[in-house]
């Protein structure tokens, strides 16, 4: 099995506050996706805070870069025999229902 990193990209800016009911429905979608693809989902991952730091050439700056049109909002690690199988898992991911979001699929080198 190969491993793939799904990077979930979102438009920058404040995330709208969700009601408890909306949050419950969102988590239910992710849980259903994880259950449907339980042989593939190695690590469901997590959402990322919008702020952070960037370490480059020994210097620390605020990040992610403010001029970016999209930011990484979260990630998952997926196991699949082929890229096409990973793509099937990605297409069913709940992130696709969020306006302006996209999924980057990267195969891990398996060192």
Q: Select the more confidently predicted residue: 53 or 76.
A: 76
**So where are the chain's domains?**
2-13+22-49+56-107
- Per DSSP bridges, beta strands 102-107 and 2-10 are antiparallel
**Residue 72, class by beta-carbon neighbours within 10 Å (0-12 exposed, 13-18 middle, 19+ buried)?**
middle
Closest CA to 4 of 71, 97, 75, 100: 75
Task: Give the tens place of pLDDT for each residue, 60-97.
Answer: 988 776 566 778 889 999 999 999 999 999 999 999 99
**pLDDT(27) > 80:** yes
CATH architecture of the domain formed by 2-13+22-49+56-107: 2-Layer Sandwich (3.30)
- Per DSSP bridges, beta strands 59-63 and 2-10 are unpaired
CA-atom Rg of the chain in angstroms: 15
Q: What pLDDT, on a 0 to 100 scale, did the predictor assign at position 71?
A: 84
Q: How far apart are CA 104 and CA 45, in angstroms?
A: 14
Mean pLDDT value across residues 85-111: 95
Note if the pTM is more than 0.95.
no
């Amino acid at each position: 099995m190969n491993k793939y990193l799904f990077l979930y990209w979102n438009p920058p800016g404040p995330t709208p506050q969700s009601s408890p009911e909306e949050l419950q429905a969102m988590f239910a979608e992710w849980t259903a996706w994880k259950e449907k693809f339980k042989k593939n989902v190695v690590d469901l991952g997590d959402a990322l805070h919008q702020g952070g730091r960037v370490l480059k050439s020994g210097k620390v700056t605020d990040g992610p870069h403010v001029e970016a049109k999209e930011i990484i909002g979260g990630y998952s690690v997926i196991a699949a025999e082929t890229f096409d199988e990973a793509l099937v898992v990605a297409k069913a991911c709940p992130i696709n229902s969020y306006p302006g979001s996209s999924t980057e699929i990267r195969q891990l080198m398996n060192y």
